[in-house]
Amino acid sequence: MSFRHQALLYATEADYLEGTLPFVREGLAADEPVMIAVPVARMAPLRESLGPEGRSVRWVDMAGIGGNPARVIPLWREFVARHDERQRLRGIGEPIWPGRTEAEIAEGERHEALLNLAFADAPGLSILCPYDAGGLGPGVLDAAHASHPQIIQGATARESTGYRAPDGTFEDPLSPPPEGAAAVPLQPVSAARVRSLVSRSAGQAGLGRSRSDDLVVAVTAAALGVTRDATGATLTTWEEGGTVACEIRSDVRIGDPLAGREWPPPAQAHGLWTANQLADLVQLRSHRWGTVVRVRMTARSGTPPGAERTEWRTAG
């Protein structure tokens, strides 16, 4: 018995239900706890098809928690922690869907790869990850083959020939900041200086007071987390289409690819955990020369209805 991580490639709603319903019903028939974390649009046909069978299922709006994919592994951790370690568990998780930004898709792909690392010691867990093969680009589907040992399409399940076992590295580069986005020194970290820089960009992007304050706290926490013992660090901020991006570069290397995704977080990763809870997206990359953290916040109102974002924050 080992951790089972499968990708379901679907093109129509009928394909979606054909791939997900048997997986859920098999688990319910075996009295296995089931959690379904998908966008609301995908949740509705599943609920309708399951009817009374779905009453014992835990339903989570992935667009809420998974807006920042770094919050999804803690969700699965909490699900596993709720149950006896000898019990088999299963779930459906769809962190990537058409309409997500390029940066969100990149983090969703990284999340999918990290699941194999995070749950290598959770042999009773099975996660099925649906992918809209008609709405997502070929590069996204290639990444799904790389992060899932098994692929399901139609009525066929096969081993993924493109699967790559996780090696713990996360050196893939981020796109460079735009021209004109000047980097300023950030050593030592000054909360007042961070607030001044970030608030200016937040105002230009039209963030409200609450989201601007959350962004300031997220960037300050991340900066403190990745500049401890640093001899050099910088902060760059810019605005792009209603989104504020804040990038911290530090010569301190973060060795743990799960940093900021585990509760309780170790001391070095506590700031990254805080940033992940507050920001719309956090991108972490660590290289031999140091670390890059990019924190994003978009000018929009609160969390989509139905999102579970609090109950697992203090789990463990």
Predicted confidence at residue 311, as pLDDT, reads 34
Predicted confidence at residue 310, as pLDDT, reads 32
284: enclosing H helix or E strand: strand 281-287
Q: How far apart are the C-alpha atoms of 24 and 89, rounded to whole Å?
A: 11
Is pLDDT above 70 for 301? no
- The 10 Å Cβ neighbour count of residue 204 is 13
Specify the domain boundaries for CATH 3.40.50.300 within the chain: 4-159
Q: How far apart are the C-alpha atoms of 183 and 72, rounded to whole Å?
A: 31
Who has greater pLDDT, 72 or 313?
A: 72
Mean pLDDT computed over every residue of the chain = 91
Predicted confidence at residue 84, as pLDDT, reads 87
- pLDDT class of 256 with cuts at 50, 70, 90: very high
Q: Which CATH architecture has domain 4-159?
A: 3-Layer(aba) Sandwich (3.40)
Specify the domain boundaries for CATH 3.30.565.10 within the chain: 183-298
Which pTM was predicted? Answer: 0.92
Contact 238, 181 (CB under 8 A): yes
18: enclosing H helix or E strand: helix 13-29
Q: What is the mean pLDDT of residues 165-172?
A: 84
Contact 283, 107 (CB under 8 A): yes
Predicted confidence at residue 1, as pLDDT, reads 55
Is pLDDT above 70 for 193? yes
- The 10 Å Cβ neighbour count of residue 219 is 31
In a 3-state reduction of DSSP, which class is residue 17?
helix
DSSP at 129:
E
Q: What is the mean pLDDT of residues 285-313?
A: 68
Q: What is the mean pLDDT of residues 29-51?
A: 97
Give me the helix-helix angle, 138-147 and 102-118, nearest 10°. 10
- pLDDT class of 266 with cuts at 50, 70, 90: confident
- The 10 Å Cβ neighbour count of residue 252 is 17
Is pLDDT above 90 for 312? no
183-298 has which CATH code?
Answer: 3.30.565.10
Q: Strands of 100-155 (E only): list them.
A: 125-132, 150-153
pLDDT tens digit sequence for 199-244 = 989 998 999 999 999 999 999 999 999 998 899 999 999 998 899 9
Predicted confidence at residue 308, as pLDDT, reads 41
Is pLDDT above 60 for 264? yes
State both tokens at 69: 């994919």
Place of tokens 């403190």: 224
Is pLDDT above 50 for 134? yes
Strand partners, 239: 244
- The 10 Å Cβ neighbour count of residue 113 is 20
Q: How far apart are the C-alpha atoms of 211 and 195, rounded to whole Å?
A: 13
Is pLDDT above 90 for 77? yes
In a 3-state reduction of DSSP, which class is residue 202?
helix
Q: How far apart are the C-alpha atoms of 43 and 39, rounded to whole Å?
A: 6
Give me the helix-helix angle, 191-205 and 209-227, nearest 10°. 140
